[in-house]
Amino acid sequence: MRILLETGSDISYLTRTAARRFHLPVRSEHNRGMLGADGYDSLVTTCIKEFKIGTLVLKNDTANVGGKDISDAKGVASFQLGVDVLSQFTTAWDFAHGIVRLLHLLIGPLP
C-alpha cells in the first residue's frame, strides 16, 4: 500500500477505495467530516487488524475512512498519514534517498 505523509493535515485516513479493496467494514460517525482538495466529505471509521510500517505495528486500531484516491506526481496512495500520527514521533527526513524515519523515543529512568 502506498502511503502519503502529509504534515499539513490534522488527520490520518484510509481512502474509501482502499477500505473496499481490503474488505474493511465501516461505521458511520455522526457529524464528522473533512475538507480536502475535492471539497467536504463525511468521515467514517473502520478497525484495522494489523498495520505495519517498518517496525511500527498497530493492532486492532481504529482508522478514519474518507475521501477519494490520493493522487500525486508519483501515483495513487491509499492512506494519508497526518499530524495526528506523525506528532507522536520524531521524524528524520532523508530526501536524497527518499526515506523518512519515524523515531519513537523511549523515555524512562537512566540505568
CA–CA separation, 5 and 27 (whole Å):
25
Full domain range(s) for residue 42:
3-103
Distance of alpha carbon 25 from alpha carbon 29, whole angstroms: 13
Tens of pLDDT, residue by residue, the chain (111 residues): 888 888 888 888 999 899 999 999 998 876 777 776 667 777 889 998 998 877 778 889 888 998 877 887 778 888 988 898 888 888 899 999 988 888 876 665 655
Question: Quick check: is 108 in a domain?
Answer: no
In a domain, 110, yes or no: no
73 in any annotated domain: yes
Question: Strand pairing of 56-65 and 13-14?
Answer: parallel
| CATH at 57 | 2.40.70.10
Query: How do beta strands 90-94 and 3-5 pair?
Result: unpaired
28 domain residue, yes or no: yes
Residue 97 within any structural domain of the chain: yes
Residue appearing with cell numbers 495526528: 84
Question: pTM, whole model, 2 decimals?
Answer: 0.76
Question: For the chain, how many structural domains are there in total?
Answer: 1
